[in-house]
């Protein structure tokens, strides 16, 4: 059944790549051109300085600048959900406070990585960020990257805080939207963090996806979400089928190397990533090329 009223954060929000120049610095012009192209192609939201944006290798000044550049280029057209997570609570607070000052619409705050906090530690971390800022906060659970998996009970406990409005779930576990709806309520926003299962996630109560693939195929990804959220699952599945191979190859090597290589082919941007990430190997390059051809993007 189609949702009668969509939440502010819905559909496809692109987890934006951060382009770099040959000298390794942030390519501000290319980034803002990418933001503008994304909006014109129909995406419903923008996520700067997240995992796909290589936030862990950005300096604090660069992180601030990427948020500023996104807000400026977007010019209020779609919601900006700034990536402000860190494995340091103080740093996450500072980044979220800056995002609020910069004019972002919400913050995406990841489970602290490397530290392996307990569930109580997770609750206190997110509560501290919540209490120090006024932005809506979307939790980000991605245990493949962080090791720690936030439990449904912890999420339901955090949902009781006024400005914790939803979650990006990148576990790929399709039982979670159903179970979490029972504990956190239907008003709690659930966004998929995995392109491959995004349509099924919406069927089970989700409201959209924060997408890697939409860096490369924003119009198609937006159309998938629009059909899905209208309840036209036949059309959504037909469109999703065009993207399945592309979804798969976006993680044939560590993201965002595949997305950056794909964009170098269709947008002529540099595919540079920062160490410890490296550029895409030859075999993976061929896979990406084939997926782009299959989706009609080359």
**pLDDT per residue over 27-82, tens digit each?**
999 999 999 999 999 999 999 999 999 999 999 999 999 999 999 999 999 999 99
> Which runs of E-coded beta strand occur in the chain?
11-15, 45-47, 81-83, 106-110, 137-141, 164-169, 189-192, 208-211
Tokens of 228: 């899905």
Residues with catalytic function: 140, 168
| Phi and psi, residue 240, nearest 5° | -60, -35
Task: State how many domains the chain has.
Answer: 1
User: Taking every pair of C-alpha atoms in the chain, what is the biggest distance, in angstroms?
Assistant: 50
What per-residue confidence (pLDDT) applies to 3? Answer: 47
CB-based burial label for 256 (10 Å; 0-12, 13-18, 19+): buried
- Residue entry with tokens 């402000």: 84
What per-residue confidence (pLDDT) applies to 135? Answer: 97
Q: Is residue 297 part of a domain?
A: no
What per-residue confidence (pLDDT) applies to 7? Answer: 76
Q: Is residue 255 part of a domain?
A: no
Q: Is residue 242 part of a domain?
A: no
Q: Is residue 263 part of a domain?
A: no
| Regions of the chain where pLDDT drops below 70 | 1-6
Q: Is residue 272 part of a domain?
A: no
Structural domain range at position 139? 11-229
CATH of the domain at 112: 3.20.20.70
Distance CA 67, CA 154 (A): 29
Q: Is residue 244 part of a domain?
A: no
Q: Is residue 239 part of a domain?
A: no
Q: Is residue 4 part of a domain?
A: no
What per-residue confidence (pLDDT) applies to 175? Answer: 95
**pLDDT per residue over 105-127, tens digit each?**
999 999 999 999 999 999 999 99
Q: What is the dihedral of CA 67, 70, 74, 77, to 10 degrees?
A: -40
């Amino acid at each position: 059944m189609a949702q009668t009223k969509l939440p502010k954060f819905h559909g496809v929000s692109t987890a934006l790549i951060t382009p770099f120049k040959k000298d390794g610095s942030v390519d501000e012009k290319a980034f803002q051109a990418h933001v503008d192209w994304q909006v014109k192609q129909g995406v419903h939201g923008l996520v700067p300085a997240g995992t796909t944006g290589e936030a862990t290798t950005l300096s604090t000044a660069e992180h601030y600048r990427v948020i500023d550049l996104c807000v400026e280029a977007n010019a209020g057209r779609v919601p900006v959900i700034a990536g402000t997570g860190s494995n340091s609570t103080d740093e996450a607070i500072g980044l979220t406070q800056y995002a609020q000052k910069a004019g972002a619409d919400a913050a995406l705050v990841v489970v602290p990585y490397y530290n392996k906090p307990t569930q109580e530690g997770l609750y206190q971390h997110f509560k501290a960020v919540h209490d120090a800022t006024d932005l809506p906060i979307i939790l980000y659970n991605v245990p493949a990257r962080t090791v720690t998996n936030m439990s449904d009970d912890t999420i339901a406990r955090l949902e009781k805080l006024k400005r914790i409005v939803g979650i990006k779930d990148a576990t790929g576990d399709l039982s979670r939207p159903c179970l979490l709806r029972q504990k956190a309520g239907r008003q709690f926003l659930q966004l998929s963090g995995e392109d491959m299962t995004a349509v099924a996630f919406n069927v089970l109560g989700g409201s959209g996806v924060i997408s890697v693939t939409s860096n490369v195929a924003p119009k198609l990804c937006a159309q998938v979400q629009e059909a899905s959220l209208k309840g036209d699952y036949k059309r959504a599945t037909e469109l999703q089928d065009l993207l399945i191979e592309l979804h798969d190859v976006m993680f044939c090597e560590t993201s965002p190397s595949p997305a950056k290589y794909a964009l170098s082919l269709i947008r002529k941007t540099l595919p540079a990533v920062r160490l410890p990430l490296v550029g895409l190997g030859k075999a993976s390059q061929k896979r990406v090329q084939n997926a782009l051809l299959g989706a009609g993007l080359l």
